[in-house]
Chains A and B, each alone.
Chain A
Amino acid sequence: MRYSALRVIKEALTGHKGWEPVWRSPEPKKHYDVIIVGGGGHGLATAHYLANQYGINNVAVLEKGWIGGGNVGRNTTIIRSNYLLPENEPFYEYSMKLWEGLEQDTNYNSMVSQRGILNLYHSDGQRDAFVRRGNGMLMAGSDAEILDQDGVRELYPFLDFENARFPIKGGLLHKRGGTVRHDAVAWGYARGADSKGVDIIQNCEVTGFDIKDGVCTGVKTTKGDIGANKIAVCVAGSSSRVMAQAGMNLPIESQVLQAFVTEGLKPVLPGVVTFGAGHFYVSQSDKGGLVFGGDLDGYNSYAQRGNLPVVEDVCEGGIAIMPAIGRVKLLRSWGGIMDMSMDGSPFIDRTHIKGLYFNGGWCYGGFKATPASGMCYAHLLATDTPHEFAKGFKLDRFRRGGMIDEKGVGAQPNLH
């Protein structure tokens, strides 16, 4: 069933009796061409592109809980392609282009809103770094614009420009960045994959791999053993737990990142703003709540909840640039488990076990990467060669000295 304005009108006139479930709930078959472990954004996107771009639809997506219940439903919904390094920026720009065509591609309203992202700078040194980053973005075909203080004032007159400690001197504006309705991304991809015959199997936890003589031929699950030619893992924060079942340790630490929503307000914040002197990023959802976040808690965690010092730190960052929100009430906060890699960049690669593939290490940048991650993973699964935009995302890059360290802080995951 295709969604369209005409369809909405027709259903409205006939009592909304024609709508169908968006995806089926099949029982698993005995064998698939490809099994995708993890029904989050990346897993569903991989399934969608496998079926729609690479013509492989004998595919199952296995999800421990319900689809979209992990990080794709727990992020601050920001999309952007404002990276610096040549291994990263073309990939994220490709992702941005896929975001721009997403709703047509999946025929699903994901509310892609390119409302612009403004990274504030507070010093000359920071401005110079942003000029360099902006040039890197332009070279990869993205958009970037350096604003001076007046330029920022025009967009966001209510920011605290004269802050004594961190006065706002200007910003790097990335107009094509913005936000997307995160749950709808998962649902849209699920629908796109399901419509081509992909089986999405929820409440089905993978408890082991069938590995013999270095070849992976299937998975053990809570719904029985399922065979496959290729098994593709993409489970974000649970990467180490799942891959340990295949006897692999990864260059990843799982850490908790918190996010926050305030009570609903009238429209106040037209785009996404980030603070340059602390770590704080904020946008306003269509329901009116300010959605914001900051730093990791900074220690290993699988708890999906954080602690109070970071809550205080993030709120201080918010007040520092937007004193006007001082009396707004915080409505909710939650934590997601980030698969923090050792250089802050992800992996989309084969493993040393034949038939077993790995996608992870997205740190806290996984959401914006969803479409490109899915496409590049699907490409790898279909052709056994890395996609041209994901060539750097290898598991063995540390051994070869091929780190992709945007921040240049080394193997200290809580600093990325």
Chain B
Amino acid sequence: MIINHPLLGPRDAAEFVYLGDASLMNRPEWKGEEASDEQTEKTLDAYHDYLYIRENKAGEHKELWYHEQGDRSWLIVTRNTITHGISKVELARDIAVANQAKGESKK
């Protein structure tokens, strides 16, 4: 597989380390110091799902790749898990910054 790095151009996938589903970027909030038992259970459920449950899609899959043998950037690669065809590559940082801005504008 060739990953078309947004900064470095086409690179062999062997230069990268695979982490998994891009939803791993969305870590749930930890509970507050004064959380009730109910809130604690809810938080633990959310963390359980975040850590262990995967959608494991057949088809378009957004996933995190780390360019360890290159510029050490994290990429979000949109890849079809049935054909291995890659349709989109973005810098994870750009997405994270955009998400943060979105979150702040909501507040």
Which has the most chain A C-beta neighbours within 10 Å: B1, B13, B58? B58
- In the assembled complex, the Cα of A253 lies from the Cα of B20 at a distance in Å of 9
Report the contact-size class of chain A (Cβ under 8 Å from the partner): 20 to 34
One of A251, A254, A298, A303 near B18 (C-beta < 8 A)? A298
Instruction: List residues 232-253 of chain A with CB under 8 A from any CB of chain B.
Output: 240-241, 244, 249-253
Tell me whether A252 and B84 are in contact (CB under 8 A).
Answer: no
A interface majority secondary structure = mixed
Tell me whether A302 and B81 are in contact (CB under 8 A).
Answer: yes
Tell me whether A399 and B63 are in contact (CB under 8 A).
Answer: no
Question: How many residues of chain B have a CB within 8 Å of chain A?
Answer: 27
Tell me whether B84 and A307 are in contact (CB under 8 A).
Answer: yes
A383-416 interface bits toward B, Cβ cutoff 8 Å, 1 = contact, 0 = none: 0000000000000001100000000000111100
In the complex, what residues of B have CB within 8 A of residue A222's CB?
none
Q: Any chain B CB within 8 A of the CB of A158?
A: no
Q: Any chain B CB within 8 A of the CB of A301?
A: yes
Tell me whether A303 and B84 are in contact (CB under 8 A).
Answer: yes
Tell me whether B82 and A302 are in contact (CB under 8 A).
Answer: yes
Nearest-neighbor residue (CB-CB) of B1 within chain A: A307
- Give min CB distance, A277 to chain B, whole Å: 20
Given contacts A253-B20, A300-B61, contact A309 B14 (CB under 8 A): yes
Q: Any chain B CB within 8 A of the CB of A299?
A: yes
One of B1, B18, B52, B57 near A411 (C-beta < 8 A)? B52
In the complex, what residues of A have CB within 8 A of residue B63's CB?
299-300
Nearest-neighbor residue (CB-CB) of B44 within chain A: A399
Tell me whether A300 and B81 are in contact (CB under 8 A).
Answer: yes
Tell me whether B81 and A254 are in contact (CB under 8 A).
Answer: yes
Nearest-neighbor residue (CB-CB) of B63 within chain A: A300
Which has the most chain A C-beta neighbours within 10 Å: B12, B44, B57, B84? B84
- In the assembled complex, the Cα of A398 lies from the Cα of B54 at a distance in Å of 13
Instruction: List residues 21-61 of chain B with CB under 8 A from any CB of chain A.
Output: 21, 44-45, 48-49, 51-58, 61
Residues of B within 8 A of A (CB): 1, 12-14, 18-21, 44-45, 48-49, 51-58, 61, 63, 79, 81-84
Residues of A within 8 A of B (CB): 240-241, 244, 249-254, 298-303, 307, 309, 342, 398-399, 411-414
Q: List 19 A-B contacts (CB under 8 A).
A: A241-B56, A244-B55, A250-B54, A252-B54, A253-B20, A254-B81, A299-B18, A300-B20, A300-B21, A300-B61, A300-B63, A301-B84, A302-B58, A307-B1, A307-B13, A309-B12, A309-B14, A399-B45, A414-B20
